[in-house]
Structure 1
């Protein structure tokens, strides 16, 4: 018997709109225009002869028919995606799909992955970057790295395992050229510079300023980037002074591309965790990766993520190294 199925593109558009509660965000995910998503949803509504969405002040909201349709469609698309992923996996290899915050991926995990790959040729690691916690019900990742102050279970409930990797600290850093100009001699000089940060870490400057005893400086009047890695590069390019996590800029400090003008590091309440579902069998590839990751994390300071010995180089020494071409 022939199946009476709606077009796949229409189902994908509906599922993305329902999941994001936004036609705009669905269009961004699917790499199409807002109008294309609207047309696909309208096509599906015509095909089903029901209204799937309504709009109010809160945004795009599923109707009762839309809510009833969403979970079966979402489950079906997840099954198709997972089956396709397994079919395309190279023969004999295990796949491990991870979701990781962008700066953690670029500045900590990726530089270490070559060691994992050398020791585990049979595991294909696939990394996507996002600040959003993984939705394990979708089945598109086996695990994620998550940064949280209270532990991921505070947001995800009790159905996840969380393995703490390391905590974090923050410190201002800048280009040594900024020091050479003589315009950053003490803490009060910060008021005369552009302060850089990440939109996903809005409180880092306040945390550090409080630890430094500087309570009357407005740290909100600066430039914020999508992630910390961009703010680090902006500081290297003399755009200002960024608040940074020492764990992610150790190479820059060692090379003198960045310096710590004050040498004050403030530990925060946040930490990084490996997170994966508790209510399903752990894949062998994930178990192997977990062991390796914990081994890597054991080599860093558990409070800050900084390798030992510390990478701190006083600003004056870094400036001398830079001038000497070291």
Structure 2
């Protein structure tokens, strides 16, 4: 059965006009005249028998039907663009593009990256960071580390390690504020945490049976790496993921004075598309990162 698809030039003109909010800017982007953009959009409206745009003096607005259709067209163009970039990539490309959560990248991955590079000098690692889940159909990523309570759907995945929460602080801060011998002593301290992890302090305090400390109070940072640095700089006590502060505890920059450790349902997973399962670079990275995670769990 033949596909029911409008003229592609009309779709390009419509998508550009909506994205730019202007027929003029769409014309500049596509290197045609404003009149051509207007004709293409009118052609598409006639083809669909739907009004899509409202022409205004200073631009255009979508009708409700136009907004819904524009979202579908934009998604399709995004996928075509991503597929085109993949098709144009050189077969012998030695880049390994990895997408990571920011704190995982800063506190766990980068300190270990030299060991991977020493074993695989022929692989050029390209790192991007984001809190957003990877969409392999659109993102320029060969693999990712995913944080959550389940592996990402539709991908090959391997669990690396779980999360264990424990409060940590600078020795200097504790010396200046009477120490931290029991959970109730947290009343004397400023609590630090990431805005992306609002449940860490309340979960730990609940497990400790502490009701006199507000787990939602204190200083909040864009990511946990900033909160850990704030703790090193003696701004307060941070609720840390143990895996990300091991080096600081070993060197004495931070201490964990309270014994209670609380696990969360979340874990860190390596994930990559099923289509890349046979890639030698993917296999090499999977072996290495799994070994690093196992070493951490044994220590």
Normalising by structure 2, we get a TM-score of 0.77
Return the offset for 1:207. 1.6
Determine if contact 1:93/1:123 at 8 Å carries over to the other structure. Answer: no
User: CA 1:124–1:13 in 2, change beyond 3 Å: closer, same or farther?
Assistant: farther
Give distance in 2, aligned partners of 1:182 and 1:6: 65
Change (3 A) 1:125 1:53: farther
Match of 2:155 in 1: 160
Bigger Rg, structure 1 or 2: 2
- Gaps of at least 5 residues in structure 1 are 15-36, 302-306, 309-326
SS in 1 for 2:78: helix
Q: 1:213 to 1:96 in 2, by over 3 A?
A: same
Structure 2 partner of 1:198: 194
User: Is 1:248 the equivalent of 2:231?
Assistant: no
Deviates more, 1:123-132 or 1:260-269: 260-269
Aligned positions, number: 265
Structure 2 partner of 1:105: 105
- What do residues 240-282 of structure 1 show as CA deviations (whole Å, max 9, x unaligned)? 1111011111111111111112232212221110012235654
Counterpart residue number, 2:26: 43
The correspondence for 1:66, drawn from 51, 67, 70, is 70
Rounded Cα–Cα distance in structure 2 between residues aligned with 1:173 and 1:268 = 17
The correspondence of residues 13-24 of structure 1 with structure 2, limited to 5 A, is: 14=19
Could you tell me how far 1:102 is from its partner in structure 2? 0.7
Match of 2:230 in 1: 234
For residue 181 of structure 1, the aligned residue among 176, 184, 188 is 176
* Residue number in structure 2 paired with 1:291: 287
- Taking the aligned partners of 1:12 and 1:292, their CA distance within structure 2 comes to 47
Asked whether the equivalents of residues 16 and 26 of structure 2 are also in contact (C-alpha less than 8 Å), the reply is: no
CA deviation after TM superposition for structure 1 residue 39, in Å: 5.2
- CA RMSD, 1 decimal: 3.2
What's the secondary structure of 1:115's corresponding residue? Answer: helix
TM-score, normalised relative to structure 1: 0.71
Residue aligning to 2:57: none
Give the whole-Å Cα distance in 1 for the aligned partners of 2:166 and 2:102.
19
